[in-house]
Structure 1
Amino acid sequence: MGLKGFVEGGIASVVAGCSTHPLDLIKVRMQLQGENQAPKPNPAVHNLRPALAFHPGSVRQVVPPMPQAAAATMVPARVGPIAVGVRLIQQEGVTALFSGVSATILRQCLYSTTRMGLYEVLKQKWSDPNKGTMPLSRKITAGLISGAVGAVIGNPADVAMVRMQADGRLPPAQRRNYTSVVDAISRMAKQEGVTSLWRGSSLTVNRAMLVTASQLATYDQVKEAILKKGVMRDGLGTHVTASFAAGFVAAVASNPVDVIKTRVMNMKVEPGAQPPYSGALDCALKTVRAEGPMALYKGFIPTISRQGPFTVVLFVTLEQVRKLLKDF
């Protein structure tokens, strides 16, 4: 059963990850909105010299009013997920929606396969042999452990995925232009050191623990409750309902950590210069100070828009794969 759980979880995760990749990409772009974009003086306004107006007996300065267009450019506008998606397609093409998909596949193979498989192993060991179920507290514990182990293994692919998804928003001269996840990981290791592959790993681990515990535990708990009360039988309706509940809980729990993780992983460290953030806490404090507390929920709409479908596809596919492999 041990190896089988890893195979089932891996197949379902890859299918779910690829099918919702564009939503994940939009989420990453939204989470990076406003970063390093504090209002700056507009040169057109800054260079306006006060005009001198002469009046009998005095000399005073008359400052021309600031042009409305110039004033408007001082504060960067924030746009929603649809606008981000449309602008992305217009500027980078439809194929840009799948930027970093190779990293997504590798991430699902490493991170999700590990967490799903390990959760099933712990579930088998900790379940009541008579009832075939385990208490919610044990489900959460199994999710926390599984998520942590999976995140450590999958972090290099996670860093590569974030960078590949974010690359198109940079000016052409500053883009990294990774050709694949293998190119991204090898270049990071050579140019920034092997440790860069685990940049933001504490955040990845924390997020993975929250997501796995909330997602898997909620799915199992809701599914058991539906079947126990006889609301629906064990079929597609039950799987979809439990999946949506799991996706919502996971999105609410993980979004703040996800925003900080995205920014820390994406930061560009120039040789000899101080990094933009010294760590996760520093990034969180700077983000809240510059953009307000709700900045930690940037990208929540695409997060829930992705987490819902991702979780549904994940568990519906998982249930079908289990049926196909039940005799193995």
Structure 2
Amino acid sequence: MGWKAFLEGGAASIIAGCSTHPLDLIKVRMQLQGEGGGGGIPHTSFKPSAPRVSPISMGMRVVQHEGVAALFSGVSATLLRQATYSTTRMGLYEIMKSNWEEGNRLALHKKVLAGLIAGGIGAAVGNPADMAMVRMQADGRLPMESRRHYKSVADAILRTAREEGLGTLWRGSSPTVVRAMLVTASQLATYDHVKEDILHHHWLHDGLLLHVIASSAAGITASVSSNPVDVVKTRLMNMQIGVDGKPPYTSPLDCAMKTVRNEGMLALYKGLIPTIFRQGPFTIVLFVTLERMRKLLRDTS
């Protein structure tokens, strides 16, 4: 059971992550809109006064100014992130769930607890890849002289460690861990609970339609619960040291307070729509693939 949980979860996460990568890139770019006023990055492509653009407009802007290939900037980091972070969290969640089950069902609060623990550990393991992914996705919005021009996820991680110190690979790790705990707890627990309730009441048979409905509910729940932390995490990972030698943010709390003060409370929900549009398809692909892999491994074992 142990190794299968990691294999199933990791493979499903890699497929889901790579297939929805352009949506994730658009989400990151939208979360960085308006950053720069009163404590943000001093050099950005978007001025604080610039009007907000929609996910479609953002995608078109990326293609127009950077080319279609730019929508897949950082995809190698996405692959590594899913292979580390998601493989760890999915495997640990399933192991804890199977060990804690009493009968055929596990209480919702225990599912949430399992998700919190698995998500936190997974985030700590995957933070370097997560940091590299954010930087590679955001690079195209910076002025040419400020761009990092990473060649790959390995280049991003090695250069960051060499130029900024090994600890930089875990910059933003506290909001990353919190976000991962919220996402994993809400996403996996919601999926399992909705699926089990529908089967318990005999509303649907265990099949594709059930998996899509349960995963859609899980994707929306995870998006809403994690978006504020995701905005802070994205900004911390992407920040550059100013000309005065000081970072624009000194901590996750400082980043959140400056974001709210300069851009308003709703700034913490920047990118929510693309987050839902990304998290929804990602979660659907994730769980549909996961269910197929579980069936395949059961049939071949």
> Under a length normalisation based on structure 2, what TM-score does the superposition of the two structures give?
0.95
Q: Map of 1:187-266 to 2, 5 A cutoff?
A: 187-266=159-238
Q: Deviations for 1:234-273, whole angstroms, at most 9, x for unmatched residues?
A: 0001000000000000000000000000000000025861
Q: C-alpha separation between the residues in 2 aligned to 1:318 and 1:74?
A: 42
Indicate conservation of the 8 Å contact 1:268/1:275, yes or no: yes
Indicate conservation of the 8 Å contact 1:248/1:308, yes or no: yes
1:117 to 77, 83, 91: 91
Q: C-alpha separation between the residues in 2 aligned to 1:106 and 1:259?
A: 21
> Once the 2 structures are TM-superposed, how far is the Cα of residue 37 of structure 1 from its aligned partner?
4.0
Q: C-alpha separation between the residues in 1 aligned to 2:146 and 2:106?
A: 51
Residue of structure 1 in register with 2:41 after alignment: none
Indicate conservation of the 8 Å contact 1:156/1:198, yes or no: yes
Residue of structure 2 in register with 1:92 after alignment: 66
Aligned with 1:233: secondary structure?
A: coil
Give the root-mean-square deviation of aligned CA atoms: 1.2
Paired AA for residue 110 in structure 2: R
Aligned with 1:177: secondary structure?
A: coil
Question: 1:74 and 1:260, CA in 2 relative to 1: closer, same or farther beyond 3 A?
Answer: closer
Q: Which deviates the most, 148-157 or 262-271?
A: 262-271
Q: C-alpha separation between the residues in 2 aligned to 1:32 and 1:106?
A: 23
Matched, 1:75 2:38: no
Structure of greater Rg: 1
Aligned with 1:325: secondary structure?
A: helix
Question: 1:82 and 1:74, CA in 2 relative to 1: closer, same or farther beyond 3 A?
Answer: closer
Residue of structure 2 in register with 1:186 after alignment: 158
Matched, 1:290 2:262: yes
> Once the 2 structures are TM-superposed, how far is the Cα of residue 75 of structure 1 from its aligned partner?
2.5
Matched, 1:107 2:81: yes
Paired AA for residue 223 in structure 1: K
Richer in helix (by share): 2
- What are the ranges of 5 or more consecutive residues in structure 1 without an aligned counterpart? 39-72
> Under a length normalisation based on structure 1, what TM-score does the superposition of the two structures give?
0.87
Q: Which contiguous aligned blocks of 4+ residues in structure 1 show a shift greater than 3 angstroms?
A: none
State the identity %: 65
Paired AA for residue 116 in structure 1: M
- What are the ranges of 5 or more consecutive residues in structure 2 without an aligned counterpart? 39-46
Indicate conservation of the 8 Å contact 1:37/1:76, yes or no: no
Q: C-alpha separation between the residues in 2 aligned to 1:83 and 1:218?
A: 32
Paired AA for residue 314 in structure 1: L
Q: Deviations for 1:164-195, whole angstroms, at most 9, x for unmatched residues?
A: 00000001111000000000000000000000
Residue of structure 2 in register with 1:158 after alignment: 130
Indicate conservation of the 8 Å contact 1:27/1:302, yes or no: yes
Paired AA for residue 29 in structure 2: R
Matched, 1:7 2:3: no
> Once the 2 structures are TM-superposed, how far is the Cα of residue 76 of structure 1 from its aligned partner?
1.6
Question: 1:314 and 1:74, CA in 2 relative to 1: closer, same or farther beyond 3 A?
Answer: closer
Residue of structure 1 in register with 2:117 after alignment: 145
Residue of structure 2 in register with 1:280 after alignment: 252
